[in-house]
Amino acid sequence: MPDPQNLPHLLKLLDDDSETVRESVAQALKAFGPQLETELAQLSDPPDAEQMQTIRAIIDRKKK
């Protein structure tokens, strides 16, 4: 399983200008599988509603 300590860093890169970086972030988030939302909720600074919407869009896009 991926390291939850990396999540804050991944969140900062969600809106990076580089498509390559965003693709890497998407793959890293997807690697958490169904535990992703639980891990995000446990962060000391959890993602806001806009970030969660972006995360869900990334995950949904990667499923297709």
Contact 28, 10 (CB under 8 A): yes
Query: Can you give the pLDDT at residue 64?
Result: 53
Q: What's residue 38's pLDDT? A: 95
Rounded to whole angstroms, the Cα distance separating 37 from 53 reads 12
- Map out the domains of the chain as residue ranges: 4-63
Each residue's pLDDT tens digit, 17-34: 999 999 999 999 999 999
Q: How far apart are CA 1 and CA 22, in angstroms?
A: 20
Dig out the tokens for 4 from the structure: 């939850």
Residue 44: per-residue pLDDT: 95
Q: Contact, 2 vs 28, CB < 8 A? A: yes
DSSP class of 5: G
pTM (2 d.p.):
0.85
Task: Render the burial of 31-46: b for 16+ CB within 10 Å, e for the rest.
Answer: ebeeebeebbeeeeee
* The pLDDT of residue 51 is above 70: yes
Q: What is the rounded average pLDDT for all residues in the chain?
A: 91
Does the domain made of 4-63 have the CATH classification 1.20.140?
no
